[in-house]
Structure 1
Amino acid sequence: MGNCIICGQDVDGRICQSHEEDVVFDFRGDSPDQLVRNRFYRGVVDGYADFGVFIDLSPNVTGLLHRSEIDGRLESLDWEAGDTVYVQVKSVRENGNVDLTSSIRQSEGEFRGTLIQERTEEKLPEEVEEGNGSERSDEGNGRERGTAESDGGGGAVETGVTTEAETETEEEPEPEPVETVSEPETAAPTAEPESEAESEPEPEAEAGAEPAAETETAAEPEPREATHSEIADLPDRVDELVRIEGEVVSARQTGGPTVFELRDETGVADCAAFVEAGVRAYPEIEIGDIVRLDGEVELRHDEIQVETEALVELEGDEAAEVERRLADAMTDRARPDELTLVAHDERLEAISGNLLDAAESIRRAVLESRPIVVRHGATADGYVAGVALERAILPLVREEHATSDAEYHYVNRRPLEDAVYGMNDATNDVTKMLQDRERHDEKLPLVVLAGTASTVESEDGLEMLGIYGADRIIVDAAPADPEIAAVTDVLVNPESDDALSTGALASSLATTLNSGVGDEIAHLPAVSYWEDTPQSYLDAARDAGFDEEHVTELREAVALEAYYQSYSEKRELIGDLLFGESEEAVAAAGAPEDVAAEESLAGHIATQFREKLDTEVETAQANTEESEAAGVSVAVLDTDSYTHKYDFPPTSLLLDELHRRSDAEVTIGIAMDKLWIRAETDLDLRAVALDAAENAPNAGISAAGLRECRIEFLSGAREEVEIAVIGAVTEQFD
């Protein structure tokens, strides 16, 4: 029993339940399970990701402060790696992930007390002996330099440094540290210099004298030599001293060690190097350097990490040989052997070379540890395309990188509200990638644009990415403008203008770059079509267990969720919808246990889709003005007056459905400064805009969105624009 340090109440520990949130804890445990929910803890900023901030609560326990838990935008935080911050533990998941929430108190003085939590035991700061865990240890190494750590089996792990107690009791000198590289001046020191007393030779033993007993027990350990290893073999080399040769693909500074990501011809590994907490180790080593690294392989929370003992940059013939091996392995591993389609489609077979080139570029980015940003439209077709690519890339990243959070660093899916990749989108992406390069030493990303950026309106945005050296791949089923080929690295675009969805195109690219996901995403192409779905894709979905009714539910559910929080990737929710991954999805929908999660959740959301769409269409139909122009029937809807501007469905989707249910040959939706066209003939939107501009020269008419068939104009010329556009559209019916 003890007393609460705030109120003095008798408690089992040092703080009563009512005052637990008035105290900040310095956590010195080694497992997330030891954390206490709702407690405030002191932490150290490890680094940023798209979705939040990683906070080290102890050398072996890291939590995530998700961006949704931060007041304001993530970019508004002025925290840097190594900064001390104060956070509250929100929950600890079964897999060990720690969810944090923010604290308005960001100094120790704002709390009413401070306690040390050693594993599960609570102590006052003065009760913790100086030097006994009172300072944060090297995060990557999991121990403090100059000390020994328990090896889990009752022994101790030697760190290569003589402790004070050993200096007083041992007469034998320390063994010479093993030199593992030929350039010792660049290696990080792992032992204290020998004293003069230690360096003097020992007196010779008298003839016939028996060796002292302590000499037998204090025998020098066998020196270890680092043996060459490939990164793929590291799981079998735990506790061994290895030598790795490869390329440094990233270097991030944590509150403890510097963590280098090293790539060889077989994979990527994290290598922690420590000089002083928060201080950059081996500052002469830069991203892209070819190096040799010696270190001990350790397993921490089921993740492989190499504790660096020496790191040097290779030069001349040695560097050239390693580069040659990496290049040969890259070529062998990056290029797919053959085209792999979800279902037979002659249109895709005709562009097999482009599909293989795109698959190679994506796989090469994974192997080079470059982030991949997938951009897609916020529509059902766009989400299917983006998710198909995401599902194919994630396993490749997990296979290549040993750390469990690699998929969050190296794969980002960012929906676009428009089918045009404009300067606003490019500015956001460039700002983010430059911040990541500055904060985390990340490489510039590969940007994959699915169902967007294929028209000349996206040229400026694509050029901006190219100026900064970000590679660009466009995957779009709609015909691309000739100018786009010059501002992209790989263009995957069918030669035929037959109806093909971007979801079907991207799904076959996904199975080509990773054939292992073929069965998992076989139903996605069928989900991407609103009508006239090719039979081959319906058959593929049916073979995967999705009949047409189920496919329709998935399409409608994704379309509804694509509208809400349109800038968010919604990875988990979309995964639940399309793949039924979460058991919670069943309970959330109130379905019995024997009903599949994807059926219950998708059906629940699809019902909302139909109710909202039907209500909006009925209102629109009642307020549509119908007329005839040049023998063509035209229906016009004032979308500002007769639609819900900030609720589902979006105008483009509403006009699609309104036109499907209408007998009119042309359906037009007009707002303050925008106009949408749906017609029974193939329209040349740019020609419509040019013709209309001749009749309304001062209206600022332009074809702003070819995929949405959208025209923009000056709001003051609305009536004039409506007449001019109807005239231009009906001319194309001749």
Structure 2
Amino acid sequence: MGSCIICGVDVDGGGRICDPHQEDVVFDFRGNAPDQLVPDRFYRGVVDGYAEFGVFIDLSPGVTGLLHRSELDRRLESLDWESGDEVFVQVKGVRDNGNIDLAWSIRQADREFRGVLVQDGDTERLPEEADADEDDDDTAAEPAESAEPDVPDEDDEDDEDDGATGADETTEEDDSSVEDDAAVEDDATAADSSSDESEPNDVDRSTPSAEGDVADVTTDDGPTDAESDIDGGESDAADDSDDLDDDRERVEIGALSELVDDEVQIDGEVVGVRQTGGPTVFEVRDETGVVDVAAFIEPGARAYPTIEVGDVVRIDGEVESHRGDVQVESSALVLLEDADADAVRRRLAEALTDEARPDGLQPLAGDETVAQLADGLLDAAEAIRRAVLESRPIVVRHAATADGYVAGAAVERAVLPLIRDEHAKSDAEYHYFTRRPLDEPVYGMDAATNDATRMLQDRDRHDEKLPLFLLVGTGSTVESADGIELLSVYGVDAVVVDAEVADPETREAVDTLVSPEIESVEGDLSTGALVASLASAVNDDIRDDLRHLPAVSYWADTPDRYVDLARDAGYDVERVAELREAVALEAYYQSYQDKRELVADLLFEDSGNLAAHVSEQFREKLETEIETATANVVTEAVDGVEFDVLDTDGYTHRYDFPPTPLLLDDLHRRRTNGEAHATVGIGMDELYIRTSANVSVRGVAERTAELAPAADVATAGLREGKIEFLSGERDAVEDAVVAAIAEAF
């Protein structure tokens, strides 16, 4: 029975990784058959070549898998991989015919995994164990290849000298063993003497001991000081302060990209620690950026175990570049305390405050309603910018609607360049920014539980900070209270920006709440329009990219100021409609995915063909459903209000496009002629209402509950006019809802 290299628990079958940590390590595959691969594991591979549908990756000689373009988080054409490049992929599965399906790995460096293992067939070993076994096999094979059979010498005197007779055979074997041992020692000495030439740079450098001291690696006689510390011996290394070059001038992290191969000294705060199969990697931040600092003691061993997230440190090391990512290979790392630490913290805090707070808010199109919300929007912008500067992940939650996607994409457009500027790692934008659409515009317990689970896993497995949650177009009503409260238990910051209904009770539940209703501001805002102005405050450099987004976010009655702004940006009314419809269609499919590249192509990079093509599909699908729905609408008049009632279970395709809310929106717009009118779509245990007057959905639900007390009526989503009830009371609820709406008119 083996033990897990991550947590140390026993592993059945002699393996070296437990089930919960399968995805924390990367495997070097040295097998010879596809069926030896283990699904869901990450493997090191080599790019073999491209095809129109993906990339072929060699996992070992003769074992090749396909990374299909649909598995990439970016366009295939945007990959900078070349044949022969080392990459990291995940095995999704192996088909019966031996074809290997691969998935994209966001981690593309050894240091981003918590360990490395060699998989040889069904056997798992540490790299050094596998290499040692190979060396032993080579050593054992050499005598067999060079050995010659003993030939008895006819000269007895020569026989005695050769030790070929009698008891002297034993003496010969002993002497031979001594000679072999000496040869091995000679080989080891020779290897040590040439280590400067044969070993990579990141191996032959000063090594931190388990106690956090820095000890010079020796390559000839005896163990290193670091090894002595591990074995419990006394370290002869000098104090940490003696290992630093006190005469070296401090360098800002933001300048490291210009100093590759130079020795530097940096001061900063540790914002992350992760253990790889090789070095310990510390993420260190100063007032100009964040960089990875690699400290090596031995493969998989934690260097400087007393250094934790939040500590202030001083580092000497060499600046290196790995696949375009800048990092520092440390030769000395010390903990700063007292006045030295306070000086660094003060410098970081001052720089953070200066950089996080935007200079001001300039609403897109000069929207006066947005201008009245300037204080809240600036607070929200500061929270977002501060999270980037603190290396805190940002999670954006928005509805899977055209308006929701426009709002989420606006923030994404603003934040990603800031993350790229702040972090040296090329894939940092995928670690520090996540957009997670919601099927319904309510931040309920299901979504909150998912978010809490992910953030706690990232904290415990990868030492990540807890994220900032930005909820746009959701989270502002009491229906989201339980979900937000779950986050608050862990002290997670939440920012809510909503252009429509917001309950005063939510002010205490979130850190920053922006809503016209909270501020008693009247205006015809969409969430996309409001968040686009927020995004321009977060990053004014991308302001021009956002000018057409507010117009895209409105389905009807788009304010003239936003129509004109979009036209000035090169988007006429027809083009805006194509974008809106294309985003709405793509928002529906794979609604839980952010579709980052696809949405960016539609909203920012498309020359016209993509949006036009997707928009045509939108119209075809919508018209088909509208035709069916119109033929099955039941129309009645109650107290002067005309009602269109549609049985959505019987006369819509509930699990195909368009979704019921979007279908009812369009149906209601087409049948409203200026008179008092309401559209009701009722299913098995839920219904949606659309009215020509400003009718409170919550008021309708409360009145319906009074008229149908056995139905357990409750509001489920104010923004989309959704009410839930018990299916057995459907008929009673339908009559009660019609009566309640008529009363509200």
TM-score range, shorter chain: 0.7 to 0.9
366-375 or 543-552, larger mean C-alpha shift: 543-552
Matched, 1:698 2:710: yes
Who is 2:18 aligned against?
none
Cα distance in 2 between the residues matched to 1:539 and 1:246: 47
Who is 1:711 aligned against?
723
Matched, 1:473 2:485: no
Cα distance in 2 between the residues matched to 1:334 and 1:38: 43
Give the secondary-structure state (helix, strand or coil) at the position aligned to 1:366.
helix
TM alignment of 1:288-327, pairs within 5 A: 288-327=310-349
Q: Which amino acid aligns with 1:374?
A: V
Deviations 1:102-122 (A, max 9, x none): xxx9952359xxxxxxxxxxx
Who is 1:444 aligned against?
466
Cα distance in 1 between the residues matched to 2:473 and 2:319: 44
Matched, 1:403 2:425: yes
Who is 1:620 aligned against?
629
Question: CA offset at residue 160 of structure 1?
Answer: 5.3
Task: Return the TM-score normalized by structure 2.
Answer: 0.73
Please say if residues 226 and 242 of structure 1, whose CA atoms lie closer than 8 Å, have aligned partners that are also in contact.
yes
Give the secondary-structure state (helix, strand or coil) at the position aligned to 2:121.
helix
Cα distance in 2 between the residues matched to 1:226 and 1:688: 72
Matched, 1:539 2:558: no
Cα distance in 2 between the residues matched to 1:65 and 1:315: 42
Question: CA offset at residue 340 of structure 1?
Answer: 3.0
**Distance of aligned partners of 1:156 and 1:618 in 2 relative to their CA distance in 1, 3 Å threshold:** closer
Q: Which amino acid aligns with 2:704?
A: A
Please say if residues 90 and 104 of structure 2, whose CA atoms lie closer than 8 Å, have aligned partners that are also in contact.
no
**Distance of aligned partners of 1:106 and 1:189 in 2 relative to their CA distance in 1, 3 Å threshold:** closer
Who is 1:65 aligned against?
90
Please say if residues 392 and 432 of structure 2, whose CA atoms lie closer than 8 Å, have aligned partners that are also in contact.
yes
Give the secondary-structure state (helix, strand or coil) at the position aligned to 2:282.
strand
Who is 2:218 aligned against?
192
Cα distance in 2 between the residues matched to 1:255 and 1:184: 16
**Distance of aligned partners of 1:190 and 1:89 in 2 relative to their CA distance in 1, 3 Å threshold:** farther
Cα distance in 1 between the residues matched to 2:612 and 2:280: 49
Match of 2:547 among 522, 528, 532: 522
Cα distance in 2 between the residues matched to 1:553 and 1:312: 58
Give the secondary-structure state (helix, strand or coil) at the position aligned to 2:332.
strand
Question: CA offset at residue 158 of structure 1?
Answer: 9.4
Give the secondary-structure state (helix, strand or coil) at the position aligned to 1:667.
strand
Question: CA offset at residue 691 of structure 1?
Answer: 1.3
Please say if residues 41 and 88 of structure 1, whose CA atoms lie closer than 8 Å, have aligned partners that are also in contact.
no
Deviations 1:100-145 (A, max 9, x none): xxxxx9952359xxxxxxxxxxxx9899899xxxxxxxxxxxxx99
Which of the pair has more CA radius of gyration? 2
Who is 1:674 aligned against?
686
**Distance of aligned partners of 1:341 and 1:267 in 2 relative to their CA distance in 1, 3 Å threshold:** same
Who is 2:584 aligned against?
559
Question: CA offset at residue 375 of structure 1?
Answer: 0.4
Please say if residues 248 and 262 of structure 1, whose CA atoms lie closer than 8 Å, have aligned partners that are also in contact.
yes
Deviations 1:343-368 (A, max 9, x none): 21001111111111111110100000
Who is 2:457 aligned against?
435
TM alignment of 1:385-400, pairs within 5 A: 385-400=407-422
**Distance of aligned partners of 1:88 and 1:636 in 2 relative to their CA distance in 1, 3 Å threshold:** closer
**Distance of aligned partners of 1:439 and 1:156 in 2 relative to their CA distance in 1, 3 Å threshold:** closer
Cα distance in 2 between the residues matched to 1:193 and 1:687: 80
**Distance of aligned partners of 1:343 and 1:160 in 2 relative to their CA distance in 1, 3 Å threshold:** same
Who is 1:722 aligned against?
734
Who is 1:579 aligned against?
604
Give the secondary-structure state (helix, strand or coil) at the position aligned to 2:711.
coil
Matched, 1:606 2:628: no
How many residues are matched?
595
Give the secondary-structure state (helix, strand or coil) at the position aligned to 1:646.
coil
Question: CA offset at residue 645 of structure 1?
Answer: 1.3
Please say if residues 400 and 591 of structure 2, whose CA atoms lie closer than 8 Å, have aligned partners that are also in contact.
yes
**Distance of aligned partners of 1:288 and 1:70 in 2 relative to their CA distance in 1, 3 Å threshold:** farther
Who is 2:8 aligned against?
none
**Distance of aligned partners of 1:33 and 1:315 in 2 relative to their CA distance in 1, 3 Å threshold:** farther
Q: Which amino acid aligns with 1:371?
A: P
Question: CA offset at residue 491 of structure 1?
Answer: 1.0
Cα distance in 2 between the residues matched to 1:185 and 1:319: 20
Cα distance in 2 between the residues matched to 1:29 and 1:723: 63
TM alignment of 1:88-237, pairs within 5 A: 107-109=119-121, 148=195, 186-192=212-218, 226-237=248-259
CA RMSD in angstroms comes to: 3.9
Who is 2:533 aligned against?
508
Cα distance in 2 between the residues matched to 1:644 and 1:624: 15
Give the secondary-structure state (helix, strand or coil) at the position aligned to 1:242.
strand
Deviations 1:640-686 (A, max 9, x none): 00000110011101111111111471111100111111111111112
Match of 2:655 among 640, 643, 646: 646
Who is 2:698 aligned against?
686
Question: CA offset at residue 192 of structure 1?
Answer: 2.1
Deviations 1:482-517 (A, max 9, x none): 011101111121242422110011111111010011
Cα distance in 1 between the residues matched to 2:257 and 2:578: 44
Q: Which amino acid aligns with 1:635?
A: D
Give the secondary-structure state (helix, strand or coil) at the position aligned to 1:661.
helix
Please say if residues 21 and 38 of structure 1, whose CA atoms lie closer than 8 Å, have aligned partners that are also in contact.
no
**Distance of aligned partners of 1:452 and 1:598 in 2 relative to their CA distance in 1, 3 Å threshold:** farther
Q: Which amino acid aligns with 1:320?
A: D
Q: Which amino acid aligns with 1:449?
A: L
Who is 1:120 aligned against?
none
Give the secondary-structure state (helix, strand or coil) at the position aligned to 1:227.
coil
Please say if residues 279 and 302 of structure 2, whose CA atoms lie closer than 8 Å, have aligned partners that are also in contact.
yes
Cα distance in 2 between the residues matched to 1:70 and 1:435: 24
Please say if residues 38 and 89 of structure 1, whose CA atoms lie closer than 8 Å, have aligned partners that are also in contact.
no
Deviations 1:275-328 (A, max 9, x none): 111222111111111111111111222221100112121111111111101101
Who is 2:169 aligned against?
none
Question: CA offset at residue 227 of structure 1?
Answer: 3.5
Please say if residues 226 and 241 of structure 1, whose CA atoms lie closer than 8 Å, have aligned partners that are also in contact.
no
**Distance of aligned partners of 1:709 and 1:159 in 2 relative to their CA distance in 1, 3 Å threshold:** closer
Cα distance in 1 between the residues matched to 2:303 and 2:483: 38
Question: When you count helix as a share of all residues, which structure comes out higher?
Answer: 2
389-398 or 350-359, larger mean C-alpha shift: 350-359
Give the secondary-structure state (helix, strand or coil) at the position aligned to 1:260.
strand
Please say if residues 226 and 295 of structure 1, whose CA atoms lie closer than 8 Å, have aligned partners that are also in contact.
no
534-543 or 356-365, larger mean C-alpha shift: 534-543
Match of 1:351 among 365, 373, 383: 373
Identity %: 53
Question: CA offset at residue 40 of structure 1?
Answer: 2.2
**Distance of aligned partners of 1:193 and 1:563 in 2 relative to their CA distance in 1, 3 Å threshold:** closer
Task: Return the TM-score normalized by structure 1.
Answer: 0.74
Segments of structure 2 that go 5 or more residues without pairing to the other structure are 1-31, 64-70, 74-84, 111-116, 124-133, 141-190, 223-244
Please say if residues 685 and 726 of structure 2, whose CA atoms lie closer than 8 Å, have aligned partners that are also in contact.
yes
**Distance of aligned partners of 1:579 and 1:692 in 2 relative to their CA distance in 1, 3 Å threshold:** same
Cα distance in 2 between the residues matched to 1:457 and 1:29: 46
Question: CA offset at residue 190 of structure 1?
Answer: 3.1
Cα distance in 1 between the residues matched to 2:416 and 2:593: 18
Cα distance in 2 between the residues matched to 1:732 and 1:701: 17
